[in-house]
């Protein structure tokens, strides 16, 4: 095996493939033993989890753990983590409370949380909710766990998180 030592590779400045370095068809650029540094805005990694665990119910007006979580170990301390949860839930239709979900990293509430409600059925108001957010301030290359917490906005409203095969969690690390 031969080893080529260089500091920079540069494509030819003219011609049909100007300023390109091409790896021919059938060949592989293997960077598994080294580091390939992505450009800003590129996806570094994606972690997903399709969950089926116990159900969690609450009437609390303070945020409580849903038990729906996923972990990622960032490769860059300054990267952005994009968070996307899809969770089936039901609630009792007998009061004016509203579901209020919130994303957490460990015990830290993230301020950039958005959510939308999905579909309803007759009876106990079955719905899928989508909870999305981003974390640009983790400053870590250690494992990070993201979880959805939720609460009722009014007393007496019972919310039930159904951790079923319909529960999907995705975390993307984006290079800053």
The full set of domain ranges for the chain reads 43-174
Q: What digits encode the pLDDT tens for the residues 73-94?
A: 999 999 999 999 888 777 665 5
Return the CATH class of domain 43-174. mainly beta
| Whether the model pTM is above 0.85 | no
What's residue 63's pLDDT? 85
- If phi over 0 gives left and psi between -120 and 50 gives alpha, with beta otherwise, what is residue 65? beta
Of the two residues 23 and 111, the one the predictor is more confident about is 23
Nearest-CA neighbor of 70 among 86, 101, 49, 52?
A: 49
Distances (CA, A) of 40 to 13, 72, 171, 173: 25, 19, 17, 11
Does 111 score more than 80 pLDDT?
no
Please give the share of the chain, as a percent, with pLDDT higher than 90.
Answer: 41
- Taking alpha carbons only, the member of 165, 157, 152 closest to residue 86 is 165
User: Would you say residue 118 has pLDDT above 80?
Assistant: no
Which residue has 């958005």 as its token pair?
A: 114
């Amino acid at each position: 095996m031969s080893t080529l030592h260089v500091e920079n590779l540069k494509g030819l400045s003219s011609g049909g493939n100007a300023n390109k370095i091409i790896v021919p068809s059938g060949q592989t650029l293997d960077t598994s033993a080294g580091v390939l540094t992505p450009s800003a805005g590129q996806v570094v990694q994606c972690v997903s989890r399709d969950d089926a665990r116990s159900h969690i119910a609450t009437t609390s007006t303070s945020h409580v753990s849903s038990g729906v979580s996923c972990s990622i170990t960032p490769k860059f301390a300054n990267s952005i983590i994009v968070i996307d949860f899809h969770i089936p839930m039901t609630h009792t239709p007998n009061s004016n409370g509203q579901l209020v979900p919130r994303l957490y990293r460990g015990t830290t509430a993230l301020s950039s949380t958005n959510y939308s409600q999905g579909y309803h059925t007759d009876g106990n108001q079955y719905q899928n909710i989508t909870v999305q957010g981003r974390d640009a301030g983790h400053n870590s290359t250690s494992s990070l766990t993201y979880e959805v917490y939720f609460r009722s906005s009014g007393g007496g409203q019972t919310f039930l998180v159904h951790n079923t095969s319909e529960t999907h969690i995705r975390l993307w690390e984006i290079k800053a």
